[in-house]
Each structure stands twice: as structure tokens, then as C-alpha cells.
Amino acid sequence: MELTLTRSRLRPWRHGDEASLVRHADNRKIWKNVRDHFPHPYTMTDAERWIFHASTALSTTVFAIEVQGNAVGSIGLVPKEDVYRRSMEIGYWLGEQYWGRGIVTEAVGAMTAYGFDTFDIVRIFADIFVWNTASVRVLEKNGYEFEARLKKAIIKDGEVGDVLLYARTI
């Protein structure tokens, strides 16, 4: 799968992306808004592991966000299991130097359409840490609706916080 958008290209992660991945992912401001399995600091070994995994097992669900020929972010859909099997969770991050240009808003729109067209799902959702207003905007601009505030659902960087649940259904 490869999607050429106006602001970026979404394509599978591949060998050769490691240095760019480290350059953009090694950022506390990104880590602060994602789960703890996202490494910080983000090393070359982390990048090699991720690219091996993403370029094989995840090659139809997780894509690099490529800008000017470099992989500068990631966007993906995580399948859910059992009674949740017709749902997927969307996740994304972008290198800080590219923030505020509408890149992820456009990428989320394209991934949402791709997800509903490609997989047998009826729901795509995201859990957003309560302080992440930029991510809320990205989802709202793509027709995701606020469903719930999960009080004290997470601990991140030593701080207990609420989670905002957003979803789009068909």
C-alpha cells in the first residue's frame, strides 16, 4: 500500500529509514503523548527493531509518513480481538519540525478511508491523553466524535491523567 497525499506520502516502513526514524522519534514531546512502549531516548537499536517488525508483520497496517523523501512520522491501525474484532485503534506521531502544517490531519483522513475500505471493521477509535489538544483537533477535523472521558485512566511521566475517547463509525 502506498498513498500519495498533497502533504506527504504514506508507505511501508523499510530498511534505510532507521536514521531518519531516530532523528524524529527521539523527542520527549512525542513520547509524552504516546504509550510507554514507545522508547525514550529512541536509539538506533530501537529503530532497527521497529523497522524489522513494521516492514514485515505490520506492513499493511502501519506506514511511514514520508515528507521530502524522508520517513518523519508514523501512522497505523491496530486490530482488536474477540468481541472487539470489528474495531481498530488509530495511532500516529510526526517529527516536531513538521507540526502545524496539516500533515497528520490529511494522513488520518486517508488512513481512516483506507481502514474502512480494506478491513472488515465498523469502528476506528483513539485514546488521547487529556492535555493533547493538537491530537483532538486532528480527529475532530476528520469526523471523529468525542465519546467519553476516562478519568484517571493513565499514568504518564509520573502523572495520573484522564483519557479522551474519540471514534468514527460506519
Furthest-apart CA pair in the chain: how many Å?
41
Out of 137, 143, 149, 157, name the contact with ligand COA by CB under 6 A: 137
Looking at residue 84, the DSSP 8-state letter turns out to be G
> For the window 62-101, what string marks contact with ligand COA as x by the rule CB under 6 A?
------------------------------xxx----xxx
CA distances from 31 to 24, 28, 170 (A): 11, 5, 31
Please report how the helices 18-25 and 44-56 are oriented relative to each other, as an axis angle in degrees rounded to 10.
120
Angle at the Cα of 108 from the Cα atoms of 53 and 65, rounded to 5 degrees: 50
Q: Are 125 and 145 in contact (CB under 8 A)?
A: no
Q: Are 10 and 110 in contact (CB under 8 A)?
A: yes
Residue count at the site for ligand COA (CB under 6 A)? 21
Is residue 104 part of the contact set for ligand COA (CB under 6 A)? yes
Q: How far is the CB of 106 from ligand COA (least distance, A)?
A: 7
Q: How far is the CB of 42 from ligand COA (least distance, A)?
A: 13
Out of 20, 87, 112, 135, name the contact with ligand COA by CB under 6 A: 135
Is residue 102 part of the contact set for ligand COA (CB under 6 A)? yes
Give the residues lining the site for ligand COA (CB under 6 A): 30, 33-34, 92-94, 99-105, 126, 128, 132-135, 137-138
